[in-house]
Structure 1
Amino acid sequence: VFPDGQSRIQLKVGNRDVYGQDFRWVDEADIAQRTWPQDVIAFERREWGNFYGWVTEVWDGETRLARGRDIEWDVWYPFLEQAEALHQEIHHIERDVIGAINSDMERARLNLKVLESKGEISQDSADILQREIQQREAAYQEQIERLVGLYERLNRYRVTLIDVTGEEKTFPVGGIVKAWRPNAMAVSDKILMYVKNFWNVLTEEPREANTEGGIFPAIFGTVMMVLVMSVVVVPFGVLAAVYLKEYAKQGPLTRMIRIAVNNLAGVPSIVFGVFGLGFFVYAVGGTIDQLFFSASLPNPTFGTGGMLWASLTLALMTVPVVIVATEEGLSAVPREYREGSLGLGATKFESLMRVVLPCAMPGILTGLILAVSRATGEVAPLMLTGVVKLAPALPVDSHFPFLHLDRKFMHLGFHIYDVGFQSPNVEAAKPMVYVTTLVLVLVVLLLNMTAIALRTRMRKRYAGASV
């Protein structure tokens, strides 16, 4: 509200390639009339954002199929459905077919390079590998030619659109994701479309500098990173807690270790990121590349950021939480349980494995819950150890060895930072920031609820214990 009592509203005008911006502020005093034309069409495009206007011409190559503002929906909409099918086929070829060819070609090339470097290759083996590489290259060129044909079909049909100012734009139907008449939709249609859009956000890949499309790679990367971290942090945290509580002599050294563990929980996360970069990425990863992937050098395999190093860095950051929670769980196991087990002839190790640890499992899961809650939202360490703005491939795919922990990945927390503060179109990025934040909260809740349900089940199983 302005000092003189006037107000203004923000309108999404779209047509960024025409107006240069998606949103515009308008003083309400300047609005003479508001209308909702039923025939106006909203187009979601793969580039340049939405376009609002009408179809005035439909083209098949250089042949004009229809002209005028009264073109029927059925004249051009089937072309949009065909374009969507072509996009799916193109995506399958680019990601799956060509991806498999490149993977096989790279594997054969590295095998040839390794054998040549060792001096153990025979002429027959070299010829076999060379033929395999040539076959893959021929298959690659065949798929490229197939893609060229598909792109020609994709750009065959074009539409000419006109906006409210009379400005006309012509572009391929393949550049349109979907089209709808928002002013002619009933409430039920709008609700259904909202649900579909939310589902598309969860299942599709991003586009337009992450400001449009979906966030599936970020969701997948976040969940997988947490799972890998959990697999690492729980065993190490439990082992450390068991040693400190059950085996270590309670003296000054043990107290100093506990103080160090507690202090470690207060170290800023960016410090762990720097340590992970220096130790895991450069030292450990560089050594692994020298020993096992020398044929790929100077291109690093594990000597650069990736899913494995990011997960290990977060495991190192959250292990104090698991240690403290596990020690609390071990302390809560009644002394009678230990004495009864030992009195029946069990060794200390057998008592620990079959009596103490099962009774302390709720405490261990509490530590896991706290570790997951902290690690899921961390961003600073990941920026140094493997997260990227846009990942070309997921850490899991159909190519051997199927799980690729050396790959970089996307993360919901970093996605929020990138879209919210690095986007060239801030206003258009706001909805994506909000929905990504909501999804991140839902992911944390889902992971925590799963662990809490497991902890509740364990508590019921050992209801007789005071844990």
Structure 2
Amino acid sequence: MSLHDDNKQGFIEWCKRGEPMIWMNAAAVTVSTLAVIGLLMLLAVRGFGHFWPAAVMQGQYALPGEASVTVLAERVESEAVPIEQLLSAGFKIETDDAFVDRELVKLGNRDVSGADFKWVISRYLNDISYPEDAVVIERREWGNFYGYLQAVKEQGQVVASLDDGRAWEEFQTRVIRANEIHEQIKKIEKKDIGAINYRLEKLRLKSRGLELNTSMAEGRREQIQADLAAERAELDAQYKVMQSELADLYRQWHRDSFTMKTASGQIKDQRISTVVQAYQPNSMNFAQKIGFYFTKFGEFLTDEPREANTEGGIFPAIFGTVIMVLIMSVLVTPFGVVAAVYLREYAKQGVMTRIVRIAVNNLAGVPSIVYGVFGLGFFIYFLGSEMDKAFFPEALPAPTFGTPGLLWASVTLALLTLPVVIVATEEGLARIPRNLREGSLALGATKAETLWRVVLPMASPAMMTGLILAVARAAGEVAPLMLVGVVKLAPSLPVDGNFPYFHLDQKFMHLGFHIYDVGFQSPNVEAARPLVYATALLLVVIIALLNLSAVALRNHLREKYKSLEM
């Protein structure tokens, strides 16, 4: 036999052993893993790098034939673009190169210049320096401000200036004071006054309910109305006291101001109450930058959004995502398990059962937006409206449950993920050996006892697998949520200190919808882009944590009941 025949025979044997398929599967897994790792690294670098205090450069920028302007900005990114693209856009560039480098810089000062970002041609940006006294001010409105601090004022009078060298220290002290007052204002407005408004609304609904209750004796109705009026008067008195305290805090909050000079020399006075924080990135050492980074990242996780969701934090979206997934899990698990148990253990295995199984499998492939339309039509317009008529007539025509909210969003996603739980649970039930059921019945247990004490515990890992798949799908869904409860900005969390403490009728924020809104509906795309990356990575992390918790529980149950399968 020739060498060629030996090689051919060896190749045939190698194929028969299935090794090509093994190598192909290994290659596919490797490529998929590298793709996921690359995606996570991209999200991490582009998103979490946003919180690092970038250096602020100052330079002279002048296009051919135009006057030079002073630029004070952060460098965001750079790219090479075809010269034809710039010439067609009206730039007068004199070069023989096919590509020209340009940079995106963050100028801030939107209330002065009208734009946060600007593309500049790198070759026309000269005399670049990094002045240590350059100040970056993060504001509650209008984005960042870049410039040089000139003076600090109290009620219009200068208390510290650039000349006496105390301006920066005095400015930071008063920024801290203003932020403390702002926290007090927020506490009174959202917690204290919010609680009073909530109680006043409950009193109004009780009064309206008395008017609708025609069966109550007139004397009894008048007595209750008098009690309600007395309680309302007491709440009104508390409200006036808090309003007075709030007005005093606002006067203190708006007391101080400061003067900034832009790179072009323009002077602008601003209130310190507009400042979230101020820093000089060019004078910060590495340890200070690390501390600043973690402070900003902590704010991102714990604060509320502002500036059309392009600034601040995303805590309401994190909270809404987690609480919705938990409610969905509580709803879908028992219904999915009961349906699977009936199909596998009790239903007669005939044509009808096969049709039901086919229908369940087909439901898993229905587009999610269809579930959203169903949830809107059935749960909200029909079921919610009927609940309002039956239980909340005093609130009509304002809906209570007849409007999108947390409950209907959770129920809709539970319905969406129900087929996954049913299929996974039924497959787990099918893998349990028949002799275990027969042994339990032979020992005198009823079918129900066998199911509860033997079958379901052993099938619990499969149930957890179904729940893991359900969580993974539900947490990332956006389309149906846009119809049944998610909003761009929720004024309050669905959990607070007002009875019944957990408000299933309230609308909520969601990380997936937040990504869509910031990425595609933001008026300031360049400012929002880093937050899209950071929020996307955070959503992946939250889904991973929820799944890992379920996986850990599943593995524990699998080890617990492994001995019974042997």
CA distance in structure 2 between the aligned counterparts of 1:312 and 1:124, rounded to whole angstroms: 41
**More displaced 10-residue stretch of structure 1: 44-53 or 112-121:** 112-121
Q: Is 1:6 aligned to 2:100, yes or no?
A: yes
Contact map agreement 1:57 1:68 (CA 8 A) in 2: yes
CA distance in structure 1 between the aligned counterparts of 2:287 and 2:434, rounded to whole angstroms: 62
* Alignment: residue pair count: 467
Q: Which is higher, the Rg of structure 1 or of structure 2? A: 2
Amino acid in the other structure paired with 1:443? I
Q: Is 1:239 aligned to 2:353, yes or no?
A: no
Alignment of 1:406-421 (within 5 A): 406-421=505-520
Q: Is 1:347 aligned to 2:446, yes or no?
A: yes
Q: 1:100 aligns with which of 171, 178, 195?
A: 195
1:31 CA displacement: 1.5
CA distance in structure 2 between the aligned counterparts of 1:145 and 1:344, rounded to whole angstroms: 76
Q: Is 1:166 aligned to 2:265, yes or no?
A: yes
1:326 CA displacement: 0.1
Secondary structure of the 1:122 match is helix
CA distance in structure 2 between the aligned counterparts of 1:196 and 1:342, rounded to whole angstroms: 62
**More displaced 10-residue stretch of structure 1: 347-356 or 191-200:** 191-200
Other-structure match for 1:74: 169
Q: Is 1:227 aligned to 2:326, yes or no?
A: yes
Contact map agreement 1:56 1:71 (CA 8 A) in 2: no
TM-score by length of 2: 0.81
Amino acid in the other structure paired with 2:342? Y
Secondary structure of the 2:126 match is coil
Amino acid in the other structure paired with 1:426? V
Structure 2: gaps (5+ residues): 1-79, 83-96
CA distance in structure 2 between the aligned counterparts of 1:448 and 1:465, rounded to whole angstroms: 26
C-alpha deviations, 1:205-253, integer Å up to 9, x for none? Answer: 0001111000000000000000000000000000000000000010000
1:40 CA displacement: 1.1
CA distance in structure 2 between the aligned counterparts of 1:370 and 1:48, rounded to whole angstroms: 42
Alignment of 1:45-124 (within 5 A): 45-68=139-162, 70-119=165-214, 120=216, 121-124=220-223
TM-score by length of 1: 0.98
CA distance in structure 1 between the aligned counterparts of 2:296 and 2:151, rounded to whole angstroms: 28
1:335 CA displacement: 1.7
**More displaced 10-residue stretch of structure 1: 119-128 or 200-209:** 119-128
Amino acid in the other structure paired with 1:36? Y
Contact map agreement 1:15 1:49 (CA 8 A) in 2: yes
Q: 1:22 aligns with which of 116, 128, 131?
A: 116
Alignment of 1:237-386 (within 5 A): 237-386=336-485
Contact map agreement 1:55 1:71 (CA 8 A) in 2: no
Other-structure match for 2:128: 34
CA distance in structure 2 between the aligned counterparts of 1:357 and 1:237, rounded to whole angstroms: 13
Contact map agreement 2:161 2:167 (CA 8 A) in 1: no
Q: Cα RMSD over matched residues?
A: 1.2
1:192 CA displacement: 2.1
Other-structure match for 2:240: 141
C-alpha deviations, 1:181-209, integer Å up to 9, x for none? Answer: 10111222212211211111010000011
CA distance in structure 1 between the aligned counterparts of 2:477 and 2:564, rounded to whole angstroms: 35
Secondary structure of the 2:480 match is helix
CA distance in structure 1 between the aligned counterparts of 2:150 and 2:513, rounded to whole angstroms: 42
CA distance in structure 2 between the aligned counterparts of 1:223 and 1:138, rounded to whole angstroms: 39
* Percent identical: 55
1:465 CA displacement: 4.3
Other-structure match for 2:52: none
Amino acid in the other structure paired with 2:124? D
1:44 CA displacement: 0.6
CA distance in structure 2 between the aligned counterparts of 1:364 and 1:431, rounded to whole angstroms: 38
Structure 1: gaps (5+ residues): none
Contact map agreement 2:152 2:167 (CA 8 A) in 1: no
Alignment of 1:437-456 (within 5 A): 437-456=536-555
Other-structure match for 1:186: 285
Contact map agreement 1:160 1:169 (CA 8 A) in 2: yes
